[in-house]
Structure 1
Amino acid sequence: MTSLTLPVRNPRTGAQDYEISAAGTAEIAATAARLRTAQKAWAALPLADRGAALLRLADTLVKHRAAITAALEIDTGRRRIAGMELDGAVAALRGWVAQAPYLLPDGWTQGRAMTHIRHAPQFVPYALTGVISPWNFPLTLSMIDTIPALLAGSAVIIKPSEVTPRFEAPMMAAIVDAGLEDVLTFVTGDGATGAALIEAVDVICFTGSVATGRKVAAAAAAKMIPAFLELGGKDPLIVTASADIEKATDAALRGSVLSTGQACQSIERIYVATEIHDVFLKRLTEKAAAVRLNWPDITSGDLGPIIFDKQAAILADQIEDAKSKGARILTGGEIETHGGGLWLRPTVLTNVSQQMKVMTEETFGPLLPVIPYAATEDAIEAANNSEYGLSAAVFAGTLEEAEAIAVQIEAGAISLNDAALTGLFHEAEKHSFKLSGLGGSRMGPAGFQRFLRRKALIANTGAPAPLSAFAEDAQ
């Protein structure tokens, strides 16, 4: 049977200049069987030996850096962040290896109620982990679950997004160079390939939309396997009257616009105290208007193209919906075409209401709706008025003031006196609230522990209790 071939669009040119073959059920089953066989020996290795192998992978990623980042650059239309993705993966490999020996309890613990009984843990990895990653950070989000899973002793199959698959080939060259191809590999394809992958693995990690996440969760539930889901966000930023306006507008702009806003933890709603609203809005608009496209020269500028062309239609719809309901566009606001690619400059909106799509639906683009608030309680209520709860931010005159507000926000991670820190800092454990996700934290120690099932060895150091000890007339 001939495999399905999928064309791939270049986000800077609009041209379909690449293609992939979609792996079918039989190919995925064969790949899974191969990795399951190798995983037994991989899991049997001491943790230190698996760590040494992952350090070799880190070294080979450095060796293959030029090829991998060149492919990522074409995938995403941005150069510096492509390099940062590669460097971040190398740092993550080395960081996980360094901390792994300290992440699991060990040894026997004496019982509290029954002191003659003691217990000890054994940790057993899931044999095969599946990773379905999105298009916005192709390498980072392919590896964020993969690295701790491998270190725990699991084998891993990654299905990258069909929108940004070019980096897979040079990544596989690095994986082969490191000698890890029997426990780490890629399969390419679309949603059907992802569905087949879920059927072949023992645990699934998915990063993407809520709609697809629901399907992944349902498929995993039918198989009775764990699903770790990182889904959409509609992150609010609250700026108090005491905030430093220069710093707050810097954070708001970067948190909303970095990577063209194509990040689940991007700031998508900005609530500003009425006392400073007008000054804040003016300064934010000035800074937003000064942002440069990285066109025609990819080596300069601040803002890359819209990676996925279908996302441009979503952004245009949100802008038109807001305008039709009374919003004013202060800068940006038009999808631009340059060289065949699609671009949107930072778009600051005012006169915004909760009835607009830009306030309720995930944007995934550089839209900055700014809304005044009179009382802190109103801002908190508005921030929590969302079906999403991925992350949020508070900017105030002091960290103490910011913290007092942050603890009342219904989201998994709150940046204090900054914005979107979870995209930069991966050490703090967090859980997604509401529709923003499911399962354990992918960050911090839990990011490693979730790939291990815990067994309990329970030992009696005395004599076993006889049945007579439980007789109805026992004294």
Structure 2
Amino acid sequence: MSAHDPMPGPDPTITGPHDPEHHPGATLAFEPEYATALTQRLVATSGESVVVSSPLTGQPLAHIPQSSGADVDEAFRRARRAQEAWARTPVAEREAASLRFHDLVLDRQDEILDLIGWESGKARKHGYEELAHVALTARYCGRTSSRHLRSEQRPGVFPVLTRIDVNYVPKGVVGIISPWNYPFTLAMSDGLPALMAGNAVVIKPDAQTVLTALLGAQLLEEAGFPPDLWQVVAGPGADVGGAIVARADYVCFTGSTATGRIIASGCAERLVGCSLELGGKNPILVLRDADIERAAEGAVRASFSNAGQLCVSTERMFVADQLYDRFVDRFVARTDAMTLGATLDWGNDMGPLISEQQLRTVQAHVDDAVAKGAVVRTGGRARPDLAPYFFEPTILEGVTPDMACFGAETFGPVVSVYRFHDEADAVARANEGDYGLNGSIYSQDGSRAREIARQIKCGTVNINEGYGATFGSTHAPMGGMRQSGLGRRQGAEGIRRYTDIQSVGTQRLVRIAPMLGMSDAAFAKAMTASLRAMKKLGRA
């Protein structure tokens, strides 16, 4: 059987009620032919394939063809050829394509959400977060790229006589290595700015979520982006990912800190740039003046969105002593009220974990904590009755530094709650460890909370919200401090990271050297007088 043959065996099927507006009928089956059609977009001729199963059912979804080293070479060859023409395309035309992509994403949202659900298992509302973020990014790129990429004039060494133009030149072909946890937005929202900047993209999505990335590529082409501009390859990270790092003009990676170090080393060896969003052990501070109900509601979303498999989700909560008991009671009650399910329907508050490996990690962290004295306030159990890799949303108290979940990233629906008496101590504890990705502060005094936010060593800090305020604001740069990463996505920084900055200086009338027989000493004296004058005039 070839790598593109339809998957044999029974169709994976979910039975149960579905929103009649989107899914008429009682049964929704994943069609193998749909996956086969998508995989035709892969650059993969090795003849090998891997079977991917759905976290919703544990049953196979598709055979994913695997790319060889020669396939990666071919993907870069196509991308470089397409990029040469694309770099000459006016930015306004690129923006128009991005806005068409925006509309396609919204128009095709049911198809996108179904595929995200099949591949990742996440609750439909968390899939919608991805879709909305991609639409927001496409609109941002479609409305602001010209502003961020147009050449700028800046002051020269001699006013009027020296003209400086700063140009933003595309890097060439950008390599993107995207993860499984947010497979649609962490592929498309990192790649779109690269296209806007005049680059081509070669992307290796995670093995579990290749189909979602392929659907995104299809929608780009339907929106009018050139067919070869966005190439998709598939295969093991060590092989195919390494091949991308060895060929790309810039690398964008989202994943673990350990892998990020390897990628950074490979980029440094070649002297090419990279942006890395890596691990986190993200804190929330609930201050003594916080609205308890709002903080408890926000804590549920911050901790358990996508079953805690979100780079910016919360794993540590520091709560002021004055409201600790009341807050934890409300947090537990709201967690207990969550609707758990493994379906494609709206209405679930949390879906399963992505894989057996992720389930083992979460279970091991909880078991270790309990064995060493932590108290489970709610959750703490696997739920195979719901799905093969389902784990209950879990709140722990009494977590100590000797427990694995104290400092290591769990990346699952597990959060530890701690009491604090002094805000300075809470800030110091929030800053413990090596990570610095996302933080959150709950307080009714926004000005005071923003001042405390400046003391939190995280790339993003949200006030009275877990992560959505920064994540959803595409004008806001987003990324990590310390071992949580390098570089920023979103905002002008998210587009310009994919460019080389070029300065062009045009000198008029006089040269920057002695003229008309002037000696070097006389030139230096004249320059000194000029420098003093420029300072007095307030010139930079």
TM class by shorter chain equals: over 0.9
- Report what 1:185 is aligned to: 231
Mapped partners of 1:387, 1:110: distance in 2: 41
More off after superposition, 242-251 vs 50-59? 50-59
1:103 aligns with 2:122: no
| Aligned residue type for 2:93 | D
TM-score by length of 1: 0.94
The aligned runs of 1:14-163 (5 Å cut-off) are 14-62=58-106, 64-77=108-121, 78-104=123-149, 106-112=151-157, 116-163=161-208
Cα shift at 1:9: 2.1
The aligned runs of 1:208-287 (5 Å cut-off) are 208-287=255-334
Cα shift at 1:395: 0.9
1:452 aligns with 2:499: yes
Is this contact kept in 1: 2:83–2:198, CA < 8 A? yes
| Aligned residue type for 2:124 | R
| Aligned residue type for 1:134 | P
| Aligned residue type for 1:320 | D
The 3-state SS of whatever aligns with 1:108 is strand
Mapped partners of 2:387, 2:211: distance in 1: 19
**Among 389, 395, 398, the residue aligned to 1:342:** 389
Mapped partners of 1:172, 1:104: distance in 2: 24
| Aligned residue type for 1:448 | I
Cα shift at 1:428: 1.2
**Among 352, 355, 358, the residue aligned to 2:402:** 355
- Report what 1:426 is aligned to: 474
Size of the aligned set, in residue pairs, is 474
1:396 aligns with 2:437: no
Is this contact kept in 2: 1:35–1:182, CA < 8 A? yes
Q: 1:362-397 CA distances to partner (integer Å, 9 max, x unpaired)?
A: 111111211001111111111011110001111123
1:7 aligns with 2:65: no
More off after superposition, 86-95 vs 400-409? 86-95
**Among 450, 456, 462, the residue aligned to 2:509:** 462
Q: 1:188-246 CA distances to partner (integer Å, 9 max, x unpaired)?
A: 22212111111221000000111111111111111111110000111111111111111
RMSD: 2.1
Mapped partners of 1:198, 1:68: distance in 2: 29
Is this contact kept in 2: 1:3–1:24, CA < 8 A? no
Flag the 1:396–1:66 CA change in 2: closer, same or farther, 3 A. Answer: closer
Cα shift at 1:469: 5.2
| Aligned residue type for 1:425 | S
Flag the 1:103–1:309 CA change in 2: closer, same or farther, 3 A. Answer: same
**Among 369, 385, 388, the residue aligned to 1:322:** 369
Mapped partners of 1:350, 1:205: distance in 2: 37
Is this contact kept in 1: 2:124–2:348, CA < 8 A? no
Flag the 1:340–1:380 CA change in 2: closer, same or farther, 3 A. Answer: closer
- Report what 1:170 is aligned to: 215
Flag the 1:117–1:296 CA change in 2: closer, same or farther, 3 A. Answer: closer
Is this contact kept in 1: 2:154–2:165, CA < 8 A? yes
Mapped partners of 2:117, 2:390: distance in 1: 16
Mapped partners of 1:308, 1:184: distance in 2: 28
Cα shift at 1:254: 1.1
| Aligned residue type for 1:76 | S
Q: 1:236-264 CA distances to partner (integer Å, 9 max, x unpaired)?
A: 11111111111111111111111111101
Structure possessing the higher relative contact order (Cα contacts under 8 Å, 6 or more residues apart): 1
Mapped partners of 1:430, 1:60: distance in 2: 25
- Report what 2:5 is aligned to: none
| Aligned residue type for 1:326 | G
Mapped partners of 1:454, 1:197: distance in 2: 23
Flag the 1:454–1:236 CA change in 2: closer, same or farther, 3 A. Answer: same
The 3-state SS of whatever aligns with 1:335 is coil
Mapped partners of 1:109, 1:425: distance in 2: 29
Identity of aligned residues (%): 32
Choose 1 or 2 for highest CA Rg: 2
Flag the 1:87–1:408 CA change in 2: closer, same or farther, 3 A. Answer: closer
Q: 1:167-196 CA distances to partner (integer Å, 9 max, x unpaired)?
A: 234333323333432211211222121111
Mapped partners of 1:420, 1:446: distance in 2: 19
Flag the 1:386–1:217 CA change in 2: closer, same or farther, 3 A. Answer: same
Structure 1: gaps spanning 5 or more residues: none
More off after superposition, 402-411 vs 328-337? 402-411
Flag the 1:68–1:396 CA change in 2: closer, same or farther, 3 A. Answer: closer
Structure 2: gaps spanning 5 or more residues: 1-44, 526-540
The 3-state SS of whatever aligns with 2:365 is helix
Flag the 1:394–1:460 CA change in 2: closer, same or farther, 3 A. Answer: same
